[in-house]
C-alpha cells in the first residue's frame, strides 16, 4: 500500500494559526510519501496506532522544506501502517 493521507479536520486558533489532523497509511520500504501544506509548518507528528493494544507504536522520520509559502513534508515509510494518525501545527494562510 502506497503512502496515503486524509485530512479529517482543522482547528483555527486565531489569525494565522491552525492545526490540521488526519489519518494516514503506508508500507515499509515503499517510497516516501509527501504532503504539501500552505503556510509554515511548526510541528508535524505522524504516528502508527496499534489496534490490538490501543497504543501508538512509531513516529516516522519527517523532513520538511518550504518554498513560496508552501511547506512540503516528506514522510519515510519505516513500518507498515494501516491505522495512522497525524497532527500538523501551521502558521500562515
Work out the mean pLDDT of the chain and round it to a whole number. 88
State pLDDT tens for residues 3-40: 899 999 999 999 899 999 999 998 888 899 999 999 99
Q: What is the pLDDT of residues 64-82, one digit of tens each?
A: 999 999 999 999 888 888 8
**Model confidence band, residue 90 (pLDDT cutoffs 50, 70, 90):** very high
Task: Say what the pTM is.
Answer: 0.85
pLDDT tens digits, residue range 43-64? Answer: 999 988 766 666 666 778 899 9
Cα dihedral 79, 26, 8, 43 in deg (nearest 10): 50
Amino acid at each position: 500500500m502506497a503512502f496515503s493521507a486524509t485530512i479529517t479536520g482543522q482547528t483555527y486558533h486565531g489569525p494565522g494559526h491552525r492545526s490540521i489532523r488526519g489519518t494516514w497509511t503506508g508500507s515499509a520500504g515503499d517510497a516516501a510519501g509527501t504532503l504539501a501544506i500552505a503556510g509554515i509548518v511548526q510541528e508535524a507528528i505522524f504516528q502508527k496506532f496499534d489496534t490490538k493494544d490501543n497504543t501508538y507504536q512509531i513516529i516516522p522520520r519527517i523532513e520538511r522544506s518550504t518554498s513560496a509559502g508552501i511547506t512540503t513534508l516528506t514522510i519515510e515509510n519505516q513500518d507498515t501502517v494501516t491505522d495512522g494518525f497525524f497532527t500538523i501545527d501551521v502558521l500562515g494562510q
